[in-house]
Each structure stands twice: as structure tokens, then as C-alpha cells.
Amino acid sequence: MLLDTASMYFRAYFGSPEILAPDGTNVNAVRGLLDYISRLVDQYRPTHLACCWDEDWRPAWRVELIDTYKAHRVVEAVPVGPDVEEVPDTLLPQVPVIREVLSAFGIAVVGAAGYEADDVIGTLATDAGMPVDVVTGDRDLFQLVDDERAVRVLYIGKGVGRHERVDEAWVRDKYGVEAGQYADFATLRGDASDGLPGVKGVGEKTAATLLGRFGDLARIRAAAADPAAEMAAGVRAKVAAASDYLDVAPRVVAVARDLPLDRSGLALPVAPADPAALSALAERWGLDSPVARLTGVLGEA
């Protein structure tokens, strides 16, 4: 089980009321994430678990290709240096607490310098040698769905308690494309939440129709450049006008699958790795209930 950790703790933060630790610090994201993990581990009983981490939430190499990539999430007027993501003031202090608690439990946190959690997930899901469940609220990761390799997404767009099991049939029914075409589909459609403009005038329906007819983005572009190819003049013009974007967008949209990651240490712990540290953290931050729940679930795994 691979967790898109930030996707989950942001959801926990915005989806639950403020919960204060003894010192008055809001800890709703910490508590919510721990309860999400408890629920998912209890329901699916994975043998391995990794909290995948954004070591770089907006990699420079992606921004160099498309400068609008996640630009709307950058904190304004920051000093020269790496982009800083706009995070609510009462969520920011909770992130290091999450790291400390996960470490005390012995739950693996995996990141890669210069890459996003999506890229870590893509790499760990590729050639995992076992069935993989990816937990995320990010549709981009639908590109990883692969029935033959037993990779599916547990999509939490409607909430962790109402998550959807995304397999190839689900993607086909929802979008009219194959899972293997999803990255090209997303490139054509664009994604405002990530600052990806897409091909102007091409929405989901047109993107699906084009992929159904031509198979992939390369063949769509080839057909648009071929006067003899059967393609509506208006669509041909739209694809041609987006040529510069389409030259680079596939590399931005595609998640990495070949990062040099250490795959050891991902086994699900059956008990906390550092009970004393975990107890101290639970007391300091008022986490007794969620810590006890997750400890109990791990003991039953």
C-alpha cells in the first residue's frame, strides 16, 4: 500500500474541525492521517506500507518545461530560492509532527530529492513483485492502474470512507479511455489544479474520442500534421496550435517509474518501532486515541 501522504493529510486538515493539543496547537491533520491509515490497514491488510513524500512538491525540471506548473500554489514574495508551497498556517506545524509519529511507529516514509510523491509512488508501484494499492486523491495517478500487474488506485476524492477502487474497467467506464492512455488523456485535457493548460478547446470528450481513434498522443499529433488523415479541421487546428505545449507536457504529466529508491524497510510494522518516543509524542500532542487505534490495528495485522 502506497500512500500519497500530502494528499491525505491535506484532506484530513480540511475535512475535520480544529482539534487542539494540550499546548493549543491544532493537530487535526495528524489525528486524521493516523485514523486514515488505521482504517485502510484494517480493511486491506497490506504486507508492506509506504508513506510517499514530496521532497520537492514543484520540481524545477517540471517548471522549466511548463512554467505555469503549480504556479498558483506558490507563496508570493518569498526570498530567492526553492518555491514554497502555500500551506495554511495551522497545518504547517503539523507536518514535522506527522514525520515524527510515523518514524516512532516504524512506518516507512519514502521521498526522492527533486521529485514529488507521485514519482515515488510510480517507481515503487512499478515491478513491485506484489499487488499494489495506491491511496490518493490525485487523478494523475490513474496512469499507474494496471490489471495485469495488479496495480489499482484507492481514490479518496469523495473521502477515505467512501473511496473508490480504480481498476482498468473503472477508468474505461469513467473516461472512455484505457488506463494506459490516461497520461495522454490528461495531457490533452489539462488540469487547472496543476497549472496544466491542456489543448485549448479540447475537453474530456474530445480527448477520449481522439485517443479512441488514434491510440496515443504521438499518433494524434501525426494525424493533425497529415492533410490526408481523417480529422476535423477545427480539431486539427487546435492540436497544431498547442504544438509547443505538447512537445513538453507528456514529460511533466508522466510520473517517474525508475528512481533509484531503496525498497527495503517497507514491511508493515506489527508494533511501534519506538514505543517510548511514540508515548511521549502522544502525550505531548494529545494523540492518545489515534495512536492507540493504529497500534491495535498493527497488532492484528
Q: Which three cell numbers stand for residue 210?
A: 481522439
| Model-wide pTM > 0.85 | yes
Confidence band, pLDDT 50/70/90 cuts, at residue 78: very low
DSSP string, 163-183: -EEE-HHHHHHHHSS-GGGHH
DSSP category for residue 70 = T
Q: Which three cell numbers stand for residue 209?
A: 474520442
Other C-beta atoms lying within 10 Å of the C-beta of residue 227: 7
Residue type, 23: D
pLDDT of residue 79: 44
pLDDT digits (tens, 9 = 90+) for 163-218: 999 999 999 999 999 999 999 999 999 998 899 999 999 999 999 999 999 999 99
pLDDT of residue 107: 98
* pLDDT above 60 for 114: yes
pLDDT digits (tens, 9 = 90+) for 225-265: 999 999 999 999 999 999 999 999 999 999 999 999 999 99
- Per-chain mean pLDDT for the chain: 95
Confidence band, pLDDT 50/70/90 cuts, at residue 62: very high
Higher-confidence position of 81 and 273: 273
Confidence band, pLDDT 50/70/90 cuts, at residue 130: very high
Q: Which three cell numbers stand for residue 160?
A: 477515505
DSSP string, 224-282: HT-TTS---HHHHHHHHHTHHHHHHHHHHHSPPS------TT-BPPSS-S-HHHHHHHH
Confidence band, pLDDT 50/70/90 cuts, at residue 74: confident
Percent of the chain scored above 90 by pLDDT? 92
CA-to-CA dists, residue 287 to 35, 198, 236, 249, angstroms: 11, 43, 57, 43
* pLDDT above 80 for 139: yes
The domain spans of the chain are 2-177+255-300, 179-253
* pLDDT above 90 for 73: no
* pLDDT above 60 for 28: yes
The dotted CATH code for 179-253 is 1.10.150.20
Rounded distance between C-alpha atoms, residue 258 and residue 127, angstroms: 10
pLDDT of residue 72: 82
* pLDDT above 80 for 86: no
* pLDDT above 90 for 1: yes
* pLDDT above 70 for 76: no
Residue type, 74: V
Other C-beta atoms lying within 10 Å of the C-beta of residue 235: 18
Tell me what the mean pLDDT of segment 58-72 comes to.
93
> Which residue matches cell numbers 474541525?
17
Tell me what the mean pLDDT of segment 113-126 comes to.
97
Which of 53, 51, 85 lies closest to 69, judged by CA?
85
Rounded distance between C-alpha atoms, residue 64 and residue 123, angstroms: 22
* pLDDT above 70 for 77: no
Task: Give domain 2-177+255-300's CATH number out of 3.40.228.10, 3.40.50.300, 3.40.720.10, 3.40.50.1010.
Answer: 3.40.50.1010
* pLDDT above 80 for 82: no
Which of 207, 212, 211 lies closest to 190, judged by CA?
207
Rounded distance between C-alpha atoms, residue 245 and residue 184, angstroms: 13
Other C-beta atoms lying within 10 Å of the C-beta of residue 162: 9
